[in-house]
Amino acid sequence: MNKNKKVIAFYLPQFHTFKENNEWWGDGYTEWNNVKNATPLFSGHLQPRIPLEGYYDLSTVKDIQNQALLAKKHNIHGFCFYHYWFEGKLLMNKPAELLLSNLDININFCFSWANHNFHNKVQYKQRILLLEQTYGGKDDWINHFDYLLTFFKDDRYIKVNNKPMLILYDSKNIPNLLEMMSFFNSRALASGFSGIHFVNTLKDYLDVDVSSKFDFAAQVEYQPYFSNYYNILKSKFYDLRRIFYKDFLKKPLLLDTKKVWKNIVRSTPKNKIDTYIGAYTGWDTSPRWGSRSIIHINGNLECFAKNFEYQINRNASNLGEFVFITAWNEWGEGAYLEPDQSNKYAYLETVKSIMDIHKG
């Protein structure tokens, strides 16, 4: 058994007000609006999900501190903040900046550059483009690196062999990717690091090829998404079902959690790239999508515990030291470790107990 695995949870820094959300959705809007307004779509459907410790505000240092204390107490090694950079424009950057400026918040962290467009997802067929992900050239690379460098220098920022870990969410859409990575590496070397530990996000089978073709040190499974798209046939079958339910039936697509986990544990690619395997707590996008959502059913604590422990105990030459959980606080997608009124602290306590045994 690999005794060195560490748990990192993906972290959504959306739970605070900011100018763009006020413009797009109305004053005071945060992700909590969707979470609070969710309704059950069928018998036994648990909605709305209510956080046990209240609806926090990530523009408040105290609330970020509370999250860090809770995570560390339950053997979460760190948070992976989604980082939004649109050719110099930042979104949802306040929580990470508050963490950076408050050294007493004891949590490790890293960034995943979530380089994707923002849409009005309420309208599925005629979605409105709210903010397009654009890419600049070398001048933008300089500005982007300089912004990230202030975080890289923090002792809490996660590094591998003196290389700050930077995850790219949608690598295949970044123009001049190899040149950008080379530039970042050279700037990191000049800043006293040994380079950048670039990690590619696996969302579908095409991303597996990207990991191999470009200079990635590792790849991370974004689960449960990757479990549906890790090969061509499965991708096409899943997309047909998804479109049929969303566009024609206008009903949620229900997937059995136990079957999803079977796909997760066999989806790890064999492309000889170090792989950070994935795990997830649940999936229910109805707070965002309503009746056109995807909902994983028949999941429970026992199912999570069994499969999370399996992932932690997996040992192979291509598996890296980290296991990524989706997610710490994706309440709008039903993927969260944080305690709710239904399960209390059970999921966090399960992670803690498994990692206590794992650390021996």
**pLDDT per position as a tens digit, 68-90:** 999 999 999 999 999 999 999 99
Distance CA 27, CA 30 (A): 9
The CATH architecture that domain 6-358 belongs to is Alpha-Beta Barrel (3.20)
Res 283: pLDDT: 98
Res 120: pLDDT: 82
Res 215: pLDDT: 84
Res 3: pLDDT: 55
Structural domain boundaries in the chain: 6-358
Element (H or E) spanning 149, and its range? helix 138-152
Output DSSP code: residue 292.
G
Q: Please, which residues bridge with residue 297 across strands?
A: 256
Distance CA 259, CA 256 (A): 5
| Phi-psi domain of 216 (left: phi exceeds 0; alpha: psi -120 through 50; beta: other) | beta
Tokens 């909902």 map to which residue?
Answer: 295
Residue 49 and residue 340 in contact, taking contact as beta carbons nearer than 8 Å: yes
Helix (H, G, I), strand (E, B) or coil at 131: strand
Residue 249 CB coordination number (10 Å): 11
Cis amide leading into 335 (omega within 30): no
R_g of the chain, CA atoms, integer Å: 20
What are the Cα distances from residue 53, in Å, to 29, 74, 93, 99?
20, 16, 23, 20
Cis amide leading into 327 (omega within 30): yes
Q: If you count DSSP H runs as helices and E runs as strands, how many of each does the chain have, helices first?
A: 13, 17
Residue 166 and residue 198 in contact, taking contact as beta carbons nearer than 8 Å: yes
Biggest alpha carbon–alpha carbon distance for the chain: 59
Distance CA 54, CA 113 (A): 28
Kindly report, residue by residue over 225-277, the tens digit of the pLDDT: 999 999 999 999 999 999 999 889 999 999 999 999 999 999 999 999 999 99
pLDDT per residue, tens digit, the chain (360 aa), is 345 799 999 999 999 999 999 999 999 999 999 999 999 999 999 999 999 999 999 999 999 999 999 999 999 999 999 999 999 999 999 999 999 999 999 999 999 999 999 988 655 556 789 999 999 999 999 999 999 999 999 999 999 999 999 999 999 999 999 999 999 999 999 999 999 999 999 999 999 999 999 989 999 999 999 999 999 999 999 999 999 998 899 999 999 999 999 999 999 999 999 999 999 999 999 999 999 999 999 999 999 999 999 999 998 888 999 999 999 999 999 999 999 999 999 999 999 999 999 876
